[in-house]
Structure 1
Amino acid sequence: MKPIIGVVLSNKMQKSVVVASYHFWEDTVHKKKLQRRTKLMAHDEKNECNIGDWVRLDPSRPLSRKKRWVVAEIVKKEKVYVRPDEAPSPNITQNSGIPSS
């Protein structure tokens, strides 16, 4: 098997990531360009992949029921993703601009 390039969709697990690999082709009958997405689980030994990173996956022996790939390298780092519930919220009570009466 040859290496696969894909984008990280999830890194919530320890030392594991979910990677989406995209396959493009053209339908010869209808002359339409099509796209297919395959979700793969991969082993990330150093836990350094973030959501949105482009990674290269190499095949390996089965590491678990679904993991048959290993993250070989991070091709392109993406900006660090912060979920809205984890983002620091501004303190509305201070400096709200509303005069107190």
Structure 2
Amino acid sequence: MSRQNFFGIVVGTAMQKTVKVRVARQFVHPIVRKVIEWHEILRDYFGSLPVITRHKKFLAHDEKEVCTLGDVVRIEACRPLSKRKSFTVAEIIRPARTWTDPMSGEIKR
């Protein structure tokens, strides 16, 4: 049986070996048929669709602590690791956009 997978954006890295991932769920309203565009960042990857967007935040286990704020990741269900954490980061789809300041050499977002 395949495991449950979600795609989302890392919005928190304050905890050790844990990241907070914001997952968007899209659907067409059954009565109103309201049309709303996808989240701006996800639109680049999946195209635009006529849907309503709802968000939920999941805690996911990041064993090597490689995720940074703004990364687009795929999380996969696993056994419960704590009260709120039952997903692991399976892969980083796209790293966060960073750039290096040419004057100071500092890496910025």
Partner of 1:52: 70
CA RMSD in angstroms, aligned pairs only: 1.7
With normalisation by structure 2, the TM-score equals 0.70
Aligned with 2:25 (options 20, 23, 26): 23
Task: Pick one of 87, 92, 100 that aligns with 1:69.
Answer: 87
SS at match of 1:79: coil
Query: Is 1:38–2:56 an aligned residue pair?
Result: yes
**Going by fraction, where is helix more abundant, 1 or 2?**
2
C-alpha displacement of 1:4: 0.8
Equivalent of 2:97 in 79, 84, 101: 79
Following the alignment from structure 1 to structure 2, what is the Cα–Cα distance between the partners of residues 65 and 28?
Answer: 34
- Runs of 4 or more consecutive aligned structure 1 residues displaced over 4 Å after TM superposition: none
Unaligned stretches of 5+ in structure 2? 36-51, 99-105
| Whole-angstrom CA distance in 2 between matches of 1:73 and 1:46 | 12
The count of residues paired between Structure 1 and Structure 2 equals 82
Q: Does 1:2 align with 2:20?
A: no
Q: Once the 2 structures are TM-superposed, how far is the Cα of residue 79 of structure 1 from its aligned partner?
A: 2.4
User: Secondary structure in 2 aligned to 1:14?
Assistant: coil
Shift of 1:31: 1.8
Q: Which amino acid aligns with 2:31?
A: V
